[in-house]
Amino acid sequence: LARRLRALACTAPLHDLDARKANLAGEYSVYGMAEVALAAIDLVTLNMDFDTGADHDQIVARLIPRVAAQAPHRPAAEHERVARWVLENLINVGSVDRGFRAVYGTFGPDGTYVRRDYDFKLLEEVPGPGGTVYLRTTDEAVNVLVGALDTDVTSAQIAAEVKLEVLISRGRLADAQLAAEQARYRTVQYSETLRRALDATRRNVRAVDWLSAVPDMIAEALEHVADRYRHENAILTNIRKARDETEDAEHKRRAAELVDIVKDCIRRHTQLQSRLLEAGPLFRAEQDRQAFATPLTTSGLDLYGHLVAPVLPLPVESALRVTDAFFARGTGLRTPVSVRVGDLVDILLTPPVEREHLGAEMPEPDLIATPDDSRFSEEQLAAAMELLDLPHDAPRRLSGLLADARGRDPELPYLVALLAVHAASPPVGTAYRQGEPKLLFAVDDGTELDDPEFGGADLIVGTALLDAAGMAADRTEAA
């Protein structure tokens, strides 16, 4: 019962994808998310190597055609979003440990019902050389692909390859292709088991049983690899024979695919053998390095576990004593405020720096001419001012001024309209202080402007004469 419950737990994240796709912003019901997830696990499994994993962006790029086949009329950006969403959910981005947890019940030895937690991952991110991050599949993910759980890897691979050999000899190439793919998954899983043992050795030699368990596993693995070589080469010969003898095009295609799969299995076994032969020297090198490494004088401090968690339940008065003691000793030394006598003597005996009377010479600024980005030219401004140079006793409507301006230049009406709007609030005080003889003004009498390009009020634009002599006298009296 427990095995079946754990098997269901491993497939639950895939079913959950189809249940949660309705929460996405958009219409994604056309996509089969579980199908895309299985394709993603398959791609990561086949693209990861013994030392490295699969590249995140490459997996997304290879997933996009699979997603696009489900909805070919949807945009490419949506296909990429679906591929990334599925991949991130298989990694479980957003959780603390990026893993999944399932709770199931079972009966203990004494017959009591006990609830247990089952923690697992499907895809995990592992650091690579140069700060890169790779994706690797876990045993649970491979078991999802082959439809099993907690199976002995060695026996499962032998059984898969025997099944493959029987199917090929009987000419059932369609079933043989499925068996070959499962045998390849088991090869990857076998390599993962050995890789984890070697990684644990690099971290701590004492954590791995190098006295009996690991040497037995290495010897068994080397024997297994040699045996697999013989079987896989025999299988490869049978597949090629079946490919050459058959007249059916479908059988030829499946036989060619089987050749590629078995060749990949042979390549992975070759790589596995080279790592097995390096395991002994690796153990001896790590044993020497870890045995003669300088031991740590102090243990590390877990700020959350050692300080924050015990202090949070305390009352403020008790917690202040702990936090004050920690921060007083944890924030480092403070510079004393007193001045040293040696520094004081040096400052007093240092001769003053000679300075120029007007200060240091200022460097010549490197001026760069800014481009003229104004909309209107000087000629257009002169033409507009000529139109607006009206007699003081003959004001005009804005509509007439715009018509005259349009006859001269298509851009000129915009400048005339701009100047007329500014004249609606004339700067009388500025003109008074500067002694201007006249001032442009505009008044709205409620008449609507009838123009093909502009709307609003048809302003009355005119020129007002200013009393220059009176203004000068007023300035003199004020002075």
pLDDT tens-digit map of 72-92: 898 888 999 999 999 988 888
Task: Name the strands in the sheet holding 133-137, side by side, starting at the edge strand that comes first in the sequence.
Answer: 54-55, 133-137, 123-127
Residue 147 pLDDT > 60: no
Q: Give, for 204, the enclosing helix (H) or strand (E).
A: none
CB-based contact 412:383 (threshold 8 Å): yes
Residue 126, H or E segment: strand 123-127
CA gap 92, 154 in Å, rounded = 30
Higher per-residue pLDDT: 310 or 4: 310
Burial of 329 (C-beta count, 10 Å sphere; 0-12/13-18/19+):
exposed
Give dist(CA 416, CA 387) in Å, integer: 8
Q: Quickly list H helices, 292-362.
A: 309-311, 316-330, 341-349
- pLDDT of residue 381 exceeding 50, the answer is yes
Compute CA 173 distance to the chain's CA centroid, rounded to the nearest angstrom.
42
Q: State residue 149's pLDDT score.
A: 42
For residue 301, give every residue at least 6 positions away whose Cβ sits within 8 Å of its Cβ, in sequence order, or none.
Answer: 307
CA–CA dist 86, 38 (Å, integer): 10
Q: 153-169 vs 213-245: helix axis angle to the nearest 10?
A: 10
Residues 53-70 have a mean pLDDT of 89
b/e for 99-118, b at 16 or more Cβ within 10 A? ebebebeeeeeeeeeeeeee
pLDDT of res. 151: 46
Q: Do residues 149 and 7 make contact, with C-beta atoms less than 8 angstroms apart? A: yes
pLDDT mean across residues, the chain? 79
pLDDT in tens, 266-284: 888 888 888 888 888 888 8
Q: In the chain, count of helices (H) and strands (E)?
A: 17, 8
The pLDDT value recorded for residue 148 is: 44
Beta bridge pairs of residue 93: 95
135, 260, 292, 275: which is closest to 218 by C-alpha? 275
Quick one: average pLDDT of 236-260?
76
**Angstrom distance (rounded) from CA 477 to CA 391:** 31
Average pLDDT of span 217-223: 80
Which pLDDT value is given to residue 133?
Answer: 83
- 95 beta partners: 93
Are 386 and 456 spatial neighbours (Cβ–Cβ below 8 Å)? no
The count of C-alpha atoms lying within 13 angstroms of the C-alpha of 304, restricted to the half-sphere facing its C-beta, is 0
Q: How confident is the model at residue 287 (pLDDT cuts 50, 70, 90)?
A: confident
Q: Which H or E run includes 120?
A: strand 113-120
Determine the pLDDT at residue 150: 45
Percent residues over pLDDT 70 in the chain: 81
Highest mean pLDDT among 71-75, 174-178, 213-217: 71-75
**Lowest-pLDDT range of 135-139, 234-238, 446-450:** 234-238
Residue 23 phi, psi (nearest 5):
-80, -10
- Give me the mean pLDDT over the 352-380 stretch: 75
Residues found in the chain: 479
Average of pLDDT values for 374-394? 86
Across the beta sheet with 396-397, what order do the strands follow?
396-397, 460-465, 438-443
Is the pLDDT reported for residue 300 higher than 70? no
Choose among 161, 324, 308, 142: nearest CA to 231: 161
Q: What is the pLDDT of residues 422-478, one digit of tens each?
A: 888 888 777 777 778 888 889 988 888 888 888 888 899 998 888 766 665 665 655
Give the model's pLDDT for residue 1.
65
Residue with tokens 């597949």: 239
Pull the structure tokens for residue 386: 């000529």
Q: Which amino acid is at 385?
A: M
In this predicted structure, what is the pLDDT of residue 137? 82
